Amino acid sequence: MENIEIILSDKNLSEQNCLDFVKTDDSGGIVVFVGTVRNQTKGKRVLRLDFEAYEPMAISEMKKIAIQAIEKFSLKKIAVHHRVGMLEIGEIPVIIAVSAAHRGAAFDACEFAIDMLKETVPIWKKEIFEDGEVWVSATP
């Protein structure tokens, strides 16, 4: 589908690439969610994160989410990009960008897509601390 872009990569992700992909002349609203690696969780200092994925299924699930979002919210376009590998504080593990005729649908679709990604896509996150590491659930 030319209105969907799915990327799972060990390379840096670009907000601008996502924005450029979803822009259309008939879009009244574009929403971009950018997830970043923060330096703490539950009061504990995080040094970095490590993301792993079961790639074939992750890409398939990301496509399903994109298709559902397009249908449910009448989107023009959607980009779902996720990074794997070791990420430092401030780096970007996930970007979701959507365009729709109206802002409300764009906001709702972007929230739907990130929530579904965390629930259904086989991507796992390991938090690395000064005194150890732990695999954590993708959902809060």
Q: Kindly list the structural domains of the chain, giving each domain's residue range(s) and its CATH number in brackets, ordered by start.
A: 4-136 (3.90.1170.40)
Judged on CB neighbours under 10 Å (0-12, 13-18, 19+), 78 is buried
Query: What residues contact 57, with CB distance under 8 A and at least 6 apart?
Result: 122
- For 92, what's the count of Cα atoms within 13 Å in the CB-facing half-sphere? 18
At residue 137, the pLDDT reads 64
Q: What distance in Å separates the CA atoms of residue 60 and residue 108, rounded to the nearest whole number?
A: 22
Instruction: Give me the residue label for tokens 């959507």.
Output: 98
Q: What distance in Å separates the CA atoms of residue 137 and residue 89, rounded to the nearest whole number?
A: 19
Could you list the pLDDT tens digit for every one of the 140 residues in the chain? Answer: 799 999 999 999 999 999 999 999 999 999 999 999 999 998 899 999 999 999 999 999 999 999 999 999 999 999 999 999 999 999 999 999 999 999 999 999 999 999 999 999 999 999 999 899 999 865 43
DSSP state of 93: S
pTM over 0.85: yes
Tokens of 17: 């690439």
At residue 139, the pLDDT reads 46
